[in-house]
Structure 1
Amino acid sequence: MKRNKISHIILVLLILVVFTTPTLASGSSRTLYYGHRGEDVLRLQKALNQKGYYHYYLDGIFGKITEKAVINFQIDHRIRIDGIAGPETIRTLYSSSSPSREGTNIRNYNTGDIYWLARIIEAEAGGEPYEGKVAVGNVILNRVSSKEFPNTIYNVIFEYYGSIPQFSPVADGTIYNTPSQESINAAKDSLNGMRPVGNSTYFFNPNKAAGTWIVKNKSYVSKIGGHVFYQ
């Protein structure tokens, strides 16, 4: 009799676990927060990216940038703001009716695009901080999107003004140097939508060039490392 009672209690507990543990649309049942790693974090990043909240390297690591993306999503959707991807956040994120942020239009780029973008980043910003590397990629992609410049990464990099190349690494040959892994990652991040300098289409190092025409004709955006950025 006692054994039957214990078995009954165990059965009830199992039923409670099954019906109270959330099954998330992402395929994960765990709550995700800072420090977590894995495929479920990668799925979270991809979903946030598609909704316009995450513009960084998709690495499956729940760091500060992922946490900030989650917080921004929670703010916009008026759910509990804690930076934790729990059942309510995940359910809202994976809902087909969940709106996306305006202005997110991530293109599909091929390996050749990454190859050349990483090379110009390495040549122009090899000694710059990571954000400065991504910023150079940001500028190149802004030019691709602008009607004032060629519409491919390769053609933007190798564009000439008269007989002078737009980028000095093309003139001195450093465009052909092998990029570091950090420059490759920066290329991927800029292609994924990371925009530290917004709509900037020009940059220069004031310690190496006066940039007179840019300063007179364009609007200052920001300074990152040794480069100043204009739009």
Structure 2
Amino acid sequence: MKTYSKKLTSIILILLMISLQVTIIYAAQSNTNSYLTLKLGSRGSEVSRLQYTLNNKGFSPGPIDGIYGPRTRWAVINFQKACKITVDGIAGKQTQAYLYSTADSLVTSRGNSSYSTDLYWLSRIIHAEAEAEPYEGKLAVGNVVLNRVSSKEFPNTVKGVIFEYFQGIPQFSPVAEGTIYNTPSQASVQAAKDALRGAKPVGSCTYFFNPDKSAGKWIVQNKTYVKRIGNHVFYK
């Protein structure tokens, strides 16, 4: 009887492992199918994401400007050589699968209701605050929100941070204006995902504002300037 139980347990474990492998393969194929082929002359948020990720991995593509120029092409070539995959200077499905593989696996492992809620609200605040900003600027807004979540000075959830009030005034203007409820663009959703994966273009910053729309006196007087991205300045 004990021998039979051991055999049955072994069979169940083998079946579970096979099932898990099939799931992982299917997920990888689904992610790969979502990649757009990017090459010399391509433009847009997907190119910005490519440039940002290449830069984070030590393959400098030049400015993160959403333009697939010669420097970005050489960064892709160097990445392809390092990974020992087809070297053609084109960021196709294989190249992007290698480039984003670690990040995509993190999303799969965190696929729970808490992550979904964070993604829902983070993508909306990014879109409301930085719809017209470059991809790095979108990431930076997500970076700031998540830094606040991690700080003891702010609420400990993404939604809590976004809807925080101080002396009856929302900390984020899109809450007061109602634009927080607008449907985010694909670029904003992607920026939210990358921010949740750990992208930190503005490091430990917890404040930002548009100096063309606000003086930001309290921030300027009490916080340390870090950098400017697009129309926003970021402070820690």
TM superposition score category, shorter chain reference: 0.5 to 0.7
Give the match for residue 212 of structure 2: 207
Distance of 1:115 and 1:152 partners within structure 2: 12
1:138 paired to 2:136:
no
Shift of 1:162: 1.5
SS of the equivalent of 1:214 reads helix
Distance of 1:198 and 1:205 partners within structure 2: 18
TM-score by length of 2: 0.57
Task: Choose from 165, 168, 178 the match for 1:163.
Answer: 168
Distance of 1:172 and 1:69 partners within structure 2: 35
Give the match for residue 229 of structure 1: 234
Give the match for residue 224 of structure 2: 219
TM-score by length of 1: 0.58
Give the match for residue 176 of structure 1: 181
- Unmatched 5+ stretches in structure 1: 1-37, 43-58, 73-81, 88-104
Shift of 1:177: 0.6
Letter in 2 for 1:151: N
Distance of 1:119 and 1:216 partners within structure 2: 29
Q: Is the 8 A contact 2:52 2:136 kept in 1?
A: no
Task: Choose from 90, 94, 114 the match for 2:119.
Answer: 114
Distance of 1:70 and 1:168 partners within structure 2: 35
Task: Choose from 151, 154, 158 the match for 2:156.
Answer: 151
Counterparts in 2 of 1:162 and 1:66: CA distance versus 1, 3 Å = closer
Q: How many residue pairs are counted as aligned between the two chains?
A: 151
Q: Is the 8 A contact 1:160 1:166 kept in 2?
A: yes
Letter in 2 for 1:229: F
Distance of 1:207 and 1:120 partners within structure 2: 20
Give the match for residue 187 of structure 1: 192
Q: Identity over the aligned pairs, expressed in percent?
A: 59
Pairing of 1:43-62 with structure 2 (within 5 A): none
SS of the equivalent of 1:200 reads coil
Letter in 2 for 1:199: S
Distance of 1:178 and 1:68 partners within structure 2: 29
Letter in 1 for 2:193: K
Cα deviations across residues 113-141 of structure 1 (Å, max 9, x unaligned)? 10100000010001111110000000000
Shift of 1:112: 1.2
Distance of 1:110 and 1:124 partners within structure 2: 21
Larger Rg: 1
Shift of 1:86: 4.0
Q: Is the 8 A contact 1:202 1:230 kept in 2?
A: yes
Give the match for residue 85 of structure 1: 83
1:129 paired to 2:127:
no
Counterparts in 2 of 1:86 and 1:111: CA distance versus 1, 3 Å = same
- Unmatched 5+ stretches in structure 2: 1-27, 33-45, 60-77, 86-105
Shift of 1:203: 0.1
SS of the equivalent of 1:156 reads helix
Pairing of 1:8-23 with structure 2 (within 5 A): none
Q: Identify the structure with the greater helix proportion.
A: 2
User: Could you say which structure has the greater relative contact order, defined with CA pairs below 8 angstroms and 6 or more residues apart?
Assistant: 1
